[in-house]
Amino acid sequence: MLLSLDIRVDVTWWLEGASGKQVLNWLLLDEALPLSQASWLVEHFERERGMDQWNTGHWHAYIRRKVDEYEKLSGEQEVRREKAGLAGGAMMAAAERRAGTSGMAAAPSGAGVGGMPAVYPAEGWAQLERGAALLAERLRGRQLLAAEAEALLADTVPQLASWRAAAQLARLYGRLSITAALELATRRRPAWLSAHGAPRCRRCGSVARQRVPCAACGLAACAYCEACLALGRSRACALLLRSAAPVAVQGTAAPSTDGGLARWGLSAAQSAAASAALAYLSRPTSAKDGPGRFLLWAVTGAGKTEMVFPCDG
């Protein structure tokens, strides 16, 4: 299951031969889910028995069930009930689903489960390839929200008209990752590390406890991070673009340091920082090098203490 910023790029990539790979099955699940829900669905996708033989009705039921699960974990259902009252809330949710506005958001014609979007214009593909390479180069070593990326590209690459299409192609090439700015906590996270159900900011690693109605995604409980608010609002439905990590030169990689991190329940950002610290501690040293220093820098509340636990001892 994949997330797309421009489905036309994916159609050309997977079905028109641009990837050089053969695709046996293709199914468009939805064109208009809020990014927070779509990102969570991709990250928590699990194959089920008989899935290869499912029809569109099975897939529609699967998406509705997973969206319901997301709304329970994110507090969306709770906020709706608080606003409308327990009895009225159930009626409102049912009415919204019949109208196609809750979870399975109303979409353009041909959207929903099934359907085949148009391909990216063939005459513009070569230019898109160049744009994707240029965008990946400009974002190298950075992680930016969509508004930040758009501002950067407007200043440095004004000729890049469709930056979302270029970002999607760069993602297919493995040069960028695209995801929601907040990571919804799961029940697997130890309670002493964060509040139950509270999402974490993928930009700074802080717990995001604030939830507000959001005009951008239409949800009643869209979380945002207060810790890095001065850098731009990192919301559950905000797009975060991350440069891919550079490929390690063969023979120079340090021994794996990730083996013991899973049990600590760290976020992706915290795990990356803890891995870097462990790699530093495991590097070859000699007496003449003297004591070394490793700086672990993060904003207040990002969970620096938890990052140090794997390094202790």
Helices 125-138 & 163-172, crossing angle to 10 degrees? 80
Instruction: Write down the pLDDT at residue 182.
Output: 94
Average pLDDT on 71-96 reads 69
The answer, yes or no, to whether residue 270 has pLDDT greater than 60, is yes
- Per the model's pLDDT, the better-predicted residue between 75 and 308 turns out to be 75
The answer, yes or no, to whether residue 42 has pLDDT greater than 80, is yes
- Give residue 106's pLDDT band: very low, low, confident or very high (50, 70, 90): very low
For the chain, what is the mean pLDDT? 79
Give me the residue label for tokens 């997973």: 66
Instruction: Write down the pLDDT at residue 186.
Output: 63
Instruction: Write down the pLDDT at residue 281.
Output: 80
Instruction: Write down the pLDDT at residue 110.
Output: 35
The answer, yes or no, to whether residue 196 has pLDDT greater than 70, is no
Q: Is the dihedral of CA 89, 90, 91, 95 positive or negative?
A: positive
The answer, yes or no, to whether residue 300 has pLDDT greater than 80, is no
- Per the model's pLDDT, the better-predicted residue between 288 and 128 turns out to be 128
pTM of the entire structure? Answer: 0.69
Tens of pLDDT, residues 158-184: 777 689 999 999 999 999 999 999 998
- Give residue 189's pLDDT band: very low, low, confident or very high (50, 70, 90): very low
Residues 245, 15, 21, CA angle at the centre, nearest 5°?
55
Cβ neighbours of 100 (radius 10 Å): 14
Instruction: Write down the pLDDT at residue 283.
Output: 77
Q: Following CA atoms 99, 101, 105, 106 in sequence, which dihedral angle do they give, to the nearest 10 degrees?
A: 50
What SS3 class is residue 283? coil
The answer, yes or no, to whether residue 135 has pLDDT greater than 70, is yes
Average pLDDT on 275-294 reads 73
- Per the model's pLDDT, the better-predicted residue between 250 and 155 turns out to be 155
Secondary structure of 153-220 in the HEC alphabet?
HHHHCCCCCCHHHHHHHHHHCCCEEEEECEECCCCCCCCCCCCCCCCEECCCCCECCEEECCCCCCCC
